[in-house]
Amino acid sequence: MPTAVNEQLKILVELQKIDSEIYRLKKEAEAHPLLQKKIEEAFDKKKQSLKAVEDELRAAQLKQKEKEMDLQSKEEKVKKLQGQLFSLKTNKEYSAMEMEIKGLKADDSLLEEDILRLLDVVEEVKVKVAKEKEILAVEDKKAKEAIETIKKETAALNAQIAEWEEKRKAYPANVEPRLLTQYERILKSREGLAVVPVVHNACGGCHLGFPPQMLNEIQMQDKVIVCESCARILYWVS
Ligand SMILES: [Zn+2]
């Protein structure tokens, strides 16, 4: 003796409650990987500002090094010229070389000023790098905590889904296979909602209004009636 249609409808209504819950939980769980990705992307962006100041530091250090090497070679040249100074024979040669030495020394003091200025810049940028590193460490901690929370929530959702799926198991046994297949097909194609009540003489799924004759038929509950617009199975709440 097969179960009467109205009884099967009642079972489907119960099954729908469970499936709606499963659908909602799955939707929520599905959004989690995207949330995690957004957190990771935001963190990567923050890493860029550290990289920028680190590049700035490297550039300043390189410039400083170049100036120091320049200074060194000019100082060596001064020493060399000073060594030659006393071997010169004429006053003219002597004063010419003295002029050259003077010029080099003037260059040296300019270079020294540049180097000092660059040292200040390097120190300033080093402070900036340290600050960015501090900020990034805090952000890193925050991002890791947020991802950890998401993972925990995903696990909790999956556990809930498993629980509901366990509860669901008993229901399909009392529904005719053909009706069950129909139900599951609609469930898939209509966002997890296959069985809907009539609300204010209209479909509880898509709100299409029904004529009195159809309302009577739905109320009888002796056959399966679907909404002609959204194809969901209709039931009557008395
Ligand atoms: Zn409908």
Instruction: Classify residue 206 by its DSSP letter.
Output: T
Q: How remote is the CA of residue 227 from the centroid of ligand 1, in Å? A: 5
* Any domain includes 218: no
Alpha carbons 225 and 232: distance in angstroms, whole number: 8
Alpha carbons 210 and 195: distance in angstroms, whole number: 16
Q: What is the CATH number of the domain that holds 115?
A: 1.10.287.1490
CB 233 within 8 A of CB 186: yes
Alpha carbons 193 and 184: distance in angstroms, whole number: 9
Q: How remote is the CA of residue 218 from the centroid of ligand 1, in Å? A: 13
Which domain does 55 fall in, by range? 25-170
* Any domain includes 145: yes
Q: How remote is the CA of residue 142 from the centroid of ligand 1, in Å? A: 46
Q: How remote is the CA of residue 208 from the centroid of ligand 1, in Å? A: 6
Q: How remote is the CA of residue 155 from the centroid of ligand 1, in Å? A: 35
Task: Specify which residues 195 forms β-bridges with.
Answer: 233
Q: How remote is the CA of residue 230 from the centroid of ligand 1, in Å? A: 4
Q: How remote is the CA of residue 217 from the centroid of ligand 1, in Å? A: 16
Alpha carbons 89 and 32: distance in angstroms, whole number: 88
Alpha carbons 164 and 158: distance in angstroms, whole number: 10
Q: How remote is the CA of residue 212 from the centroid of ligand 1, in Å? A: 16
Q: How remote is the CA of residue 162 from the centroid of ligand 1, in Å? A: 30
Res 100: pLDDT = 94
Q: How remote is the CA of residue 198 from the centroid of ligand 1, in Å? A: 9
* Any domain includes 187: no
* Any domain includes 238: no
* Any domain includes 138: yes
Question: Who's near 132: CB < 8 A, 6+ residues apart?
Answer: 49, 50, 53
Number of structural domains found in the chain = 1
Q: How remote is the CA of residue 203 from the centroid of ligand 1, in Å? A: 5
CB 110 within 8 A of CB 21: no
* Any domain includes 96: yes
Q: How remote is the CA of residue 210 from the centroid of ligand 1, in Å? A: 10
Res 124: pLDDT = 97
- The H or E element that residue 233 is part of is strand 233-235
List the chain pLDDT tens, one digit each, 238 residues. Answer: 567 999 999 999 999 999 999 999 999 999 999 999 999 999 999 999 999 999 999 999 999 999 999 999 999 999 999 999 889 889 999 999 999 999 999 999 999 999 999 999 999 999 999 999 999 999 999 999 999 999 999 999 999 999 999 999 989 888 999 999 999 999 999 999 999 999 999 999 999 999 999 999 999 999 999 999 999 999 999 8
* Any domain includes 195: no
Q: How remote is the CA of residue 91 from the centroid of ligand 1, in Å? A: 112
Res 170: pLDDT = 87
Res 206: pLDDT = 97
**What backbone phi and psi angles, to 5 degrees, belong to 190?**
-120, 55
Q: How remote is the CA of residue 196 from the centroid of ligand 1, in Å? A: 8
Q: How remote is the CA of residue 135 from the centroid of ligand 1, in Å? A: 54
State the greatest distance between any 2 C-alpha atoms of the chain, in Å, as a whole number: 134
* Any domain includes 99: yes
CB 111 within 8 A of CB 74: yes
